[in-house]
Amino acid sequence: MAVLLTGGTGYIGAHTAVALLEAGREAVLADDLSNSKAEVLERIEKITGKRPAFYQIDISDGAALSKVFEAHKIDTVIHFAGFKAVGESVKKPLDYYKNNLNATIEVLRAMLKYGAKNLVFSSSATVYGPYGESPLKEDAPTGCINPYGWTKWMSEQIIRDAAKAHPELSCVLLRYFNPVGAHPSGLIGEDPNGIPNNLMPYISQVAVGKLDHLTVYGDDYNTPDGTGVRDYIHVSDLAQGHLAAVSYCERHAGVEAVNLGTGRGISVLELLRAFERVNGVKVPFEIGPRRAGDVDECFADTQKAASLFNWRATRTAEDMCRDAWNWQSKNPRGYEITSKA
């Protein structure tokens, strides 16, 4: 039976596809390539020796999605596909609600139509908003402060209601903290469109000379060094967390929200210093004003994933910095193929 990865050529999707293929599972990838490149398929094949079936479709197009389910015996879906830029979601809320919620609805419709029972949903710690206190447990108060976060929270609710109406569905809502790093081969990694919003790709692009310096968004937070504290988790650990969630779904029914983090908080300056130390590079920075919406600290309580999945993150901040730099230095322009001529 196959596992369908919607958004499968994206950053986390590609790393999860590699982990599934290396575990001997059949992976089918579907993506509209609006925020990823088909080159990822070549890289997945180079790493695993296997090339997954790929469909370039709009995941919210029910007819197109049906064709994928007709072509493959799919019993599990890992639903990554969705717009994911917080700032862009504030500027284009209707695009975000339409795309992200319709995609979730069409995935559920197709699963019910073709008898696929297991769903792992790519949710986010952003659903906790600024309301919960770290370490955040899954029953912490939720409440979003941007449309992107609301689309994740609303998708979780849509999935819960679908599972109530159709008890054969088995769903896990994975709330990621801050995914960073890259596969140790340096063949796949984070390749954001345009100027990166997130810290690690920004640091990597400064280190490789693509950007001039990092602006640290505020050093007056209520944290040990005044800069924002987050729970950075290696994307390869995150991929393994997805495999653990898939096997949990196969043995259970119902819906569970589960944090995927390390349980450790790291500040902006700590991550920057670790990146410089591990890679022997300089990352010039200056302190700027706070970024709207940022919280002082956000890190996970990881007990539920440990007890339900028997899974814990194992890679260190140094591993994250080393692998992020290995990817960036080998791919200074990401997946963009520089013309041979």
Give the binding site for ligand WQD (CB under 6 A). Answer: 84, 86, 124, 126, 176, 178, 197-199, 202, 214-217, 228, 230, 268, 291, 294
Is the torsion defined by CA of 286, 291, 295, 299 positive or negative? negative
Token readout for 208 is 């490789």
Q: Is 229 helix (H, G, I), strand (E, B) or coil?
A: strand
Amino acid identity for residue 305 in this structure? A
91: which DSSP letter?
H
Q: What are the structure tokens assigned to 18, written together?
A: 């590699």
Query: Given the structure tokens 């779904």, which residue do they identify?
Result: 249
Catalytic residue among 96, 128, 148, 221: 148
Q: How far is the CB of 13 from ligand WQD (least distance, A)?
A: 13
In terms of CB distance, is 28 or 317 closer to ligand WQD? 317
The pair of three-digit structure tokens given for residue 216, joined into one six-digit string: 């640290």
The alpha carbons of the chain give a radius of gyration, in whole angstroms, of 19
Please indicate whether residue 248 is annotated as part of the active site: no
| 8 Å CB contact between 228 and 217 | yes
Identity of the residue, 187 or 214, whose beta carbon is nearer to ligand WQD in the bound complex: 214
CB of 52 to ligand WQD, least distance (A): 24
Residue linked to tokens 């019993």: 75
Q: Smallest distance from the beta carbon of 337 to ligand WQD, in angstroms?
A: 27
Write down the residue that tokens 């994975």 correspond to. 174
CB of 44 to ligand WQD, least distance (A): 22
Residue closest to ligand WQD (Cβ): 228
d(CA 193, CA 36): 8
- List, by residue number, the catalytic residues: 148
